[in-house]
């Protein structure tokens, strides 16, 4: 289900002395089936923006169309929209309230007027998707679960409604690395199995690069950049100017450039950075071997003849020059 946002503005406490202009003329489209990431400095308007996408907040001006339906129109039944667009708030575990996991996850489907049998089926499927099997967890109190399990149970409550669009506001905030990975795997699983359109707010640029096919960048209530992760993260200076970073792999390539390495490409992932850096050092070693070959002295000829065999050793040694900024591009080879 596609979402089209056109020129929306939103002010908290409009007319009051402390009014805050939270969204300014924001426009974008979320394509059906896409995985959209939203990044931005704290207070840039990310949470305000996503609460507009299921009608929880209404813009002061502008238009939002969800699956062809204008949700800013007075005639739209927002309950129908909220079934289609599921919103997982930040720290959703604080919203668990029923005595059992089964009842909590079944709360949404029950409110949708489903039969007991349908509710049970929705709850089982949702718990399976979040890796909390019904048999083991259904009858447990949600308050006895671990932090990561609570978060998964809370997300199950939203996906039990089988939304066509799933919006998650910083779903990995405050989790340990293993649970962080579990939550991301779970989001990918939901998307794969159900074809759900996903919108994902995060401060983690590595996650954004790995998961998203489109990125929206917010700053002071404005949408200041959109594009694929590669397009957005290529503009590292612009991102730094608004208090944002780039993925670790990109930072590594930039650190090498600062130390004199002539690398044109950018990396989003560690594997990509490893390839680029490997290619760079192989090229460096090749350049040195060619230079040695063109040396016309007898000693130079002898060195040149053996240069190709030395390539591996040189690669290892040029690898060391990254730790030795004084070494320069070729100077590092002298350590051989
Ligand atoms: N309920 C509210 N009442 C008044 N102002 C608010 C309210 N919620 C948010 N704001 C203000 O609106 C602006 C945008 O806030 P929002 O929560 O959307 O930012 P955010 O990008 O989600 O930040 P974070 O990364 O910290 O979650 C901020 O200036 C914030 O102080
Ligand atoms: Mg927020």
Statement: residue 279 has pLDDT above 50: yes
Q: Which whole number is the average pLDDT over 263-287?
A: 93
Closest CA to 86 of 21, 23, 183, 159: 159
Statement: residue 243 has pLDDT above 90: yes
pLDDT (0 to 100) of residue 296: 56
**Domain range list for the chain:** 3-240, 247-323
Q: Is the CB of 196 under 6 A from ligand 1?
A: no
Statement: residue 317 has pLDDT above 70: no
Strand-strand pairing, 197-201 and 35-40: parallel
Statement: residue 336 has pLDDT above 60: no
Statement: residue 162 has pLDDT above 50: yes
Instruction: Identify the residue whose C-alpha is closest to ligand 1 atom 31.
Output: 43
Instruction: Identify the residue whose C-alpha is closest to ligand 1 atom 4.
Output: 12
Q: Is the CB of 47 under 6 A from ligand 1?
A: yes
Instruction: Identify the residue whose C-alpha is closest to ligand 1 atom 27.
Output: 42
Q: What is the spatial distance between Cα 19 and Cα 245, in angstroms, rounded to a whole number? A: 29
Quick check: 239 and 247 in contact, CB under 8 A?
Answer: no
Which residues are near ligand 2, the ion (C-beta closer than 5 Å)?
A: 47
Query: Using CA of residue 186, residue 114, residue 67, residue 73, what is the dihedral sign?
Result: negative
pLDDT band at 37 (very low <50, low <70, confident <90, very high): very high
Gap from CA of 12 to ligand 2 centroid (Å): 14
Percentage with pLDDT > 70 across the chain: 88
Statement: residue 207 has pLDDT above 80: yes
Is pLDDT larger for residue 65 or for residue 303? 65
Statement: residue 313 has pLDDT above 70: no
Q: What CATH superfamily is the domain 3-240? A: P-loop containing nucleotide triphosphate hydrolases (3.40.50.300)
Q: What is the pLDDT of residues 3-23, one digit of tens each?
A: 999 999 999 999 999 999 999
pLDDT band at 74 (very low <50, low <70, confident <90, very high): confident
Q: Which residue has the tokens 């020059």?
A: 321
Which numbered ligand comes closest to the C-alpha of 48?
A: 1
Q: What is the spatial distance between Cα 14 and Cα 29, in angstroms, rounded to a whole number? A: 27
What angle (nearest 5°) sits at the alpha carbon of residue 106, between those of residues 186 and 65? 70
Q: What is the mean pLDDT of the chain?
A: 88
Which residues are CB-contacts of 69 (< 8 A; sequence separation ≥ 6)? Answer: 76, 81
Q: Is the CB of 22 under 6 A from ligand 1?
A: yes
Q: Which whole number is the average pLDDT over 60-72?
A: 95
Q: Which whole number is the average pLDDT over 128-140?
A: 95
Instruction: Identify the residue whose C-alpha is closest to ligand 1 atom 26.
Output: 42
Q: What is the pLDDT of residues 167-203, one digit of tens each?
A: 999 999 999 999 999 999 999 999 999 999 999 999 9
Q: What is the spatial distance between Cα 187 and Cα 206, in angstroms, rounded to a whole number? A: 15
Q: What is the spatial distance between Cα 131 and Cα 12, in angstroms, rounded to a whole number? A: 38
pTM of the shown model: 0.86
Q: Which ligand 1 atom is at minimum distance from the Cα of 203?
A: 25
Q: Is the CB of 20 under 6 A from ligand 1?
A: yes
Q: What is the spatial distance between Cα 186 and Cα 228, in angstroms, rounded to a whole number? A: 22
pLDDT (0 to 100) of residue 293: 80
pLDDT (0 to 100) of residue 292: 79
> Angle, nearest 10°, between helix axes 270-293 and 248-258?
30
pLDDT (0 to 100) of residue 79: 86
Q: Is the CB of 44 under 6 A from ligand 1?
A: yes
pLDDT (0 to 100) of residue 299: 52
Closest CA to 83 of 110, 104, 118, 112: 112
Instruction: Identify the residue whose C-alpha is closest to ligand 1 atom 20.
Output: 43
Is pLDDT larger for residue 318 or for residue 267? 267
**Residue 81 exposed, middle or buried by CB count within 10 Å (0-12, 13-18, 19+):** buried
Q: What is the pLDDT of residues 145-157, one digit of tens each?
A: 999 999 999 999 9
Q: Which whole number is the average pLDDT over 309-324?
A: 40
Statement: residue 39 has pLDDT above 80: yes
Q: Which whole number is the average pLDDT over 295-299?
A: 56
Is pLDDT larger for residue 308 or for residue 210? 210
Gap from CA of 39 to ligand 2 centroid (Å): 10
pLDDT band at 136 (very low <50, low <70, confident <90, very high): very high
Q: Which residues pair with 9 in a beta bridge?
A: 61
Q: Which whole number is the average pLDDT over 32-39?
A: 97
Q: Which whole number is the average pLDDT over 321-335?
A: 36
Q: What is the spatial distance between Cα 63 and Cα 69, in angstroms, rounded to a whole number? A: 10
What percent of the chain is helix, strand and coil (3-state, nearest 5)? 50, 20, 30
Strand-strand pairing, 20-30 and 197-201: unpaired
Gap from CA of 22 to ligand 1 centroid (Å): 7
Strand-strand pairing, 222-227 and 35-40: unpaired
């Amino acid at each position: 289900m596609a979402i089209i946002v056109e020129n929306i503005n939103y002010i908290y406490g409009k007319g009051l002395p402390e009014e805050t202009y939270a969204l300014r003329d924001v426009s974008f489209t979320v394509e059906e089936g896409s995985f959209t990431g939203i990044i931005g400095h704290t207070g840039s308007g990310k949470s305000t923006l996503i609460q507009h996408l299921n009608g929880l907040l209404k813009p002061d001006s502008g238009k939002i169309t969800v699956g062809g339906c204008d949700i800013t129109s007075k005639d739209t039944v927002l309950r129908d929209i909220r079934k289609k667009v599921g919103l997982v708030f930040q720290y959703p575990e604080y919203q668990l309230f029923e005595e059992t996991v089964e009842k909590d996850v079944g709360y949404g489907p029950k409110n949708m007027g489903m039969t007991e049998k349908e509710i049970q089926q929705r709850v089982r499927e949702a718990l399976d998707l979040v890796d909390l099997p019904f048999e083991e967890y259904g009858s447990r109190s949600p308050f006895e679960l671990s932090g990561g399990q609570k978060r998964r149970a809370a997300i199950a409550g939203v996906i039990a409604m089988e939304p066509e669009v799933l919006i998650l506001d910083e779903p990995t905030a405050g989790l340990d690395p293993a649970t962080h990975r579990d939550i991301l795997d779970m989001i990918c699983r939901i998307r794969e199995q159900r074809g759900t359109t996903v919108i994902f707010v995060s401060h983690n640029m590595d996650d954004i690069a790995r998961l998203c096919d489109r990125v929206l960048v917010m700053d002071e209530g404005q949408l200041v950049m959109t594009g694929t992760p590669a397009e957005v993260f290529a503009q590292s200076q612009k991102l730094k100017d608004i208090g944002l970073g780039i993925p670790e792999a990109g930072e590594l390539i930039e650190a090498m450039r600062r130390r004199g390495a002539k690398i044109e490409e950018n990396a989003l992932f560690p594997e990509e950075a490893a390839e680029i850096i490997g290619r760079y050092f192989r090229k460096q070693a090749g350049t040195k071997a060619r230079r040695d070959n063109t040396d016309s002295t007898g000693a130079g000829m002898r060195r040149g003849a053996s240069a190709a065999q030395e390539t591996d050793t040189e690669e290892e040694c040029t690898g060391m020059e990254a730790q030795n900024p004084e070494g320069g591009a070729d100077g590092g080879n002298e350590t051989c």
